[in-house]
Structure 1
Amino acid sequence: MANRKSLLVPNARAALEQLKFEIAQELGIELPADGYYGHMTTRDMGSIGGTITKRLIQMAEQQISGRY
């Protein structure tokens, strides 16, 4: 089993970071410039992570529906 934090596609890290910032902006959540998230609320971080998951599922569903 792979490490939870290891990505199957290493180049995807930058895209996921960009997605995180876009979603935070859409939700009106300001991310710290220094990259330290220790002062962020669990609710805010959960909202960002949940929205990322929803968006990735939507993207996968669109790709699958386009293939079949």
Structure 2
Amino acid sequence: MSTSYYRPTKRRGLVRPREGRIFAGVCAGLARRFGTTPTRVRIIALLSCLLPGPQFLIYIALWFIMPNED
């Protein structure tokens, strides 16, 4: 697949992309930043919610902290 949200951007900052979002774009932004697929990040995030810890709160915080892509 050669969709634009799979490729890392030249901008090194962590942003939520306009394309490829499912809910808030946090997983798509993290995937773009670290050069992996959004599906992989979504699966890791979902599996991490099975463990004890503040994962859901971190997701919510990233939703508010990460800016939208211009």
**TM-score band w.r.t. shorter chain:** 0.3 to 0.5
- Of structures 1 and 2, the larger Rg is shown by 1
Structure (1 or 2) with the greater helix fraction: 1
Larger RCO (alpha carbons 8 Å, 6+ apart): 2
TM-score, length of structure 1 as denominator length: 0.32
TM-score, length of structure 2 as denominator length: 0.31
